[in-house]
A = this chain, B = another copy of it.
């Protein structure tokens, strides 16, 4: 499936087949693809919890106002942004330095810049967590489409309840849920979008 086809055919699936699970290997492959999303300085300031057990789904559905998608989909990823974004950045850049793609001096300057930007800036940290996690979530949605799977992003959940149910530490901010599985019948196609003239300005 081409990228454009995946973008055009992806729809927010509301009806999943509860009988069809996904192998953990497929879940790992989807998460690996999601981790290829970009992030500022390559901070990779995200973490994914793939909820696919019966007990996990029940806990997550309860924290998501009982939405059936969470119970029925094979897996629902909790996409977290992590705070502060630059935590672990030096180590995360080391493979690029060792490969010679980024000089040690440049990597050090990125760590320094990221620290200067985000240190003691909780609002900026939070916004960066939302941005990075959303980039990863969109990559995950399209990766699923490319694998022939149905998906749905959910922003309607009680973040505090999700935090409690999955013992998320304070540095993990749940930003979006992404349900993935096999579609049941009866889903509507992708909803129409606004006309381009309402969205795009040339400058």
Please name all residues of chain B whose beta carbon is closer than 8 Å to the beta carbon of A153 when the two chains form the complex.
38, 135
User: Contacts A42-B191, A193-B35, A200-B31 known; A4 to B143 CB distance under 8 Å?
Assistant: yes
Q: Mark A160-203, 1 if CB is under 8 A from B, else 0.
A: 00000010000000011000000000001111111010011111
Contact of A130 among B93, B130, B145 (CB under 8 A): B130
Please name all residues of chain B whose beta carbon is closer than 8 Å to the beta carbon of A8 when the two chains form the complex.
33, 36
Within the assembled complex, what's the spacing in Å between the Cα atoms of A156 and B31?
Answer: 27
Please name all residues of chain B whose beta carbon is closer than 8 Å to the beta carbon of A1 when the two chains form the complex.
2-3
Contact of A7 among B46, B139, B201 (CB under 8 A): B139
Number of A interface residues at 8 Å Cβ cutoff, please give it: 73
Which of A28, A32, A52 has the most B CB atoms < 10 Å from its CB? A32
Assess whether B48 is in contact with A201, with CB atoms less than 8 Å apart: yes
User: Contacts A24-B202, A201-B47 known; A191 to B131 CB distance under 8 Å?
Assistant: no
Closest chain-B Cβ to A22's Cβ sits at a distance in Å of 11
Asked if A62 lies at the interface with its beta carbon under 8 angstroms from chain B, I say: no
Assess whether A96 is in contact with B51, with CB atoms less than 8 Å apart: no
Contact of A38 among B31, B53, B141 (CB under 8 A): B141
Assess whether B196 is in contact with A35, with CB atoms less than 8 Å apart: yes
- Closest chain B residue to A28, Cβ basis: B196
Please name all residues of chain B whose beta carbon is closer than 8 Å to the beta carbon of A42 when the two chains form the complex.
191
Extra pairs beyond A48-B199, A48-B201, A128-B155 (9, CB < 8 Å)? A1-B2, A7-B143, A32-B196, A38-B141, A42-B191, A51-B203, A101-B188, A134-B134, A166-B203
